[in-house]
């Protein structure tokens, strides 16, 4: 006899990529309040069911909002359940930090995943100069915190990450480079036995 799965679990799986039964969360959208809200709710739900079992967080995202990135980072780092992360396909902007924040030894990327980082920015529009100065200072602080966290979860230092992002435009790299820099631990390129 087949086990009955509740409609709420099916809806959560198809709408938000939360697979409660297998303790998996899929973030394949932009990092924004809708996607991160669903991911965080899924993580807390699984944490409430069992604090000892790992939760797998699969990420294939172009990135997005820095505030939401920091929110999910904080949740992943404060849950008791070990968070195993896997980058799939694209891991850009806000996404590399989220993958790097997984439990050491359990941070994966598929072989053809491409990573990208860039300097913190916002479309500031037309504002007064004093407002722009305040906003620029705030984004510099966010960029500094991002670089500190990337250094914490990799083998590269803060200066490396800051210099990498001071280049004009985006900096792209592949899974092999992510492994070399210590953002991931394993390139997941074969089927499990």
Q: Convert the pLDDT of each residue in 4-16 to its tens digit.
A: 556 565 555 555 6
Angle between helix axes 129-152 and 158-166 (nearest 10 degrees) is: 130
Domain count, the chain: 1
pLDDT (mean) for 154-181: 92
Residue that has been written with the tokens 């739900």 in this structure: 45
- Please determine, for residue 158, whether its predicted confidence score (pLDDT) is greater than 90: yes
- Confirm if 119 and 165 have CB atoms less than 8 A apart: yes
Write the pLDDT tens digit of every residue in 16-61.
688 888 999 999 999 998 899 989 999 999 999 999 999 999 999 9
Q: What is the predicted pLDDT for the residue at 90?
A: 97
Q: Is residue 2 part of a domain?
A: no
What CATH number did the domain enclosing 47 receive?
3.90.226.10
Q: Is residue 161 part of a domain?
A: yes
Q: Is residue 114 part of a domain?
A: yes
Write the pLDDT tens digit of every residue in 74-96.
999 999 999 999 999 999 999 99
Task: Look up residue 89 and give its two tokens.
Answer: 């396909």
Q: Is residue 192 part of a domain?
A: no
Q: What is the predicted pLDDT for the residue at 192?
A: 62
Q: Is residue 179 part of a domain?
A: yes
Q: Is residue 26 part of a domain?
A: yes
Global model pTM greater than 0.75: yes
Q: Is residue 99 part of a domain?
A: yes
CA angle (90, 188, 25) in 5-degree steps:
60
Q: Is residue 106 part of a domain?
A: yes
**Domain region containing 24:** 7-187
Q: Which residues contact 79 (CB under 8 A, 6 or more apart)?
A: 43, 44, 47, 51, 55
Q: What is the predicted pLDDT for the residue at 169?
A: 74
Residue that has been written with the tokens 């602080």 in this structure: 141
């Amino acid at each position: 006899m087949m086990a009955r799965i509740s409609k709420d679990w099916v809806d959560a799986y198809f709408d938000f990529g939360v697979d409660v039964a297998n303790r998996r969360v899929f973030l394949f959208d932009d990092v924004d309040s809708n996607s991160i809200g669903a991911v965080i709710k899924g993580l807390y739900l699984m944490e409430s069911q069992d604090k000892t079992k790992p939760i797998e967080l699969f990420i294939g995202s172009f990135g997005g909002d820095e505030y939401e990135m920091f929110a999910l980072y904080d949740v992943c780092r404060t849950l008791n359940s070990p968070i195993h992360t896997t980058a799939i396909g694209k891991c850009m902007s806000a996404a590399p930090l989220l993958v790097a924040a997984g439990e050491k030894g359990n941070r994966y990327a598929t072989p053809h995943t491409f990573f990208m980082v860039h300097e913190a920015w916002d479309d500031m529009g037309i504002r007064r100069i004093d407002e722009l100065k305040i906003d620029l200072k705030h984004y510099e602080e966010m960029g500094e915190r991002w670089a500190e966290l990337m250094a914490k979860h990799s083998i590269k230092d803060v200066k490396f990450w800051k210099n990498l992002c001071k280049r004009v435009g985006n900096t792209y790299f592949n899974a092999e480079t992510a492994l070399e820099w210590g953002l991931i631990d394993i390139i997941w390129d074969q089927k499990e036995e």
